[in-house]
Amino acid sequence: MGVLAGRTALVTGASRGIGRGIAERLGRDGARVAVHYGRNEAAAKETVAAIEAGGGSAFTIRADLGAPGAAEALWEQFDRHADGLDVLVNNAGIGNTRPIGEIGEAEYDAVFTVNVKAPFFILKHGMGRLRDGGRVVNISSGLARTAVMPDNMAYAMTKGALDVFSRDLSKVLGTRGITVNSVAPGIIDTDNTAGMLHGSEGGWERAAAFSALGGVGTAAEVADVVAFLASHGGRWVTGSWVDATGGSLT
């Protein structure tokens, strides 16, 4: 029996990248996983298939987190499959924005809508579905604490807002034994970073140089941190910002 046997988890943006890695790990730990996706149904079904191939259970839910009423639409679908939630991972996000001299209002609004507004209202409408003793993990970024990539300023700002959300929400939900934390990856090898890592000569080496460990992270390594916070072992950690950058901020 896995450490999350009998639990239900929801991971937003779980069709690929870090979100998929988290969903697969929680599935291996025994949770029944709601795999959220925005557009790519085929990729979400691949995540479900991977979880099921490992002996786990999962289902897909679709919601465009950039659209009005997205949170209500997400929970309406979730309720068709489950009657409560134990682990919520807010992972979905827009990962890049243009520099301040180039970004327009529409792009700025879009990244804040998906990265900040959506998690806020997912929790607003989901708190009653979260069982006592549950877990909330918000996926932040090392860029919330360093100006090493200032051209990605608007994105980094959204992650700073998400960290405040985690801190304050931990006080709101703490009386019910629900923990709330931010996990901050550094540069992770996903399709979102493929251009940076594989699209130019020396890209991988430059990225690895940020890390004190001299490497580029994987989705599985971030998922391991999330899995700890979701487990009984993480019960006394809340309101925290967990550095999962491989020492990129040292």
Mean pLDDT by 10 residues, the chain (250 residues): 95 97 98 97 98 97 98 98 98 96 98 98 98 98 95 98 98 98 93 73 84 92 98 98 94
Cβ count within 10 A of residue 96: 15
Give residue 144's pLDDT.
97
Give residue 196's pLDDT.
72
Are the C-beta atoms of 88 and 9 separated by less than 8 Å? Answer: yes
Give residue 20's pLDDT.
98
- The structure tokens 């991972």 sit at 89
- The structure tokens 């941190």 sit at 225
Quote the tokens at residue 192.
């979102």
Are the C-beta atoms of 90 and 139 separated by less than 8 Å? Answer: yes
How far is Cα 226 from Cα 223, in angstroms, rounded to an integer?
5
Give residue 200's pLDDT.
77
Give residue 32's pLDDT.
98
How far from chain centre, in Å, is Cα 213?
23
How far is Cα 154 from Cα 151, in angstroms, rounded to an integer?
8
Give residue 199's pLDDT.
75
Cβ count within 10 A of residue 117: 17
Instruction: Report the predicted TM-score, pTM, of the whole model to 2 decimal places.
Output: 0.96
Q: Mind telling me the catalytic residues?
A: 140-141, 155, 159
Q: For 114, what's the count of Cα atoms within 13 Å in the CB-facing half-sphere?
A: 22
**Homologous superfamily of the 8-190+220-244 domain (CATH):** NAD(P)-binding Rossmann-like Domain (3.40.50.720)
Give residue 23's pLDDT.
98
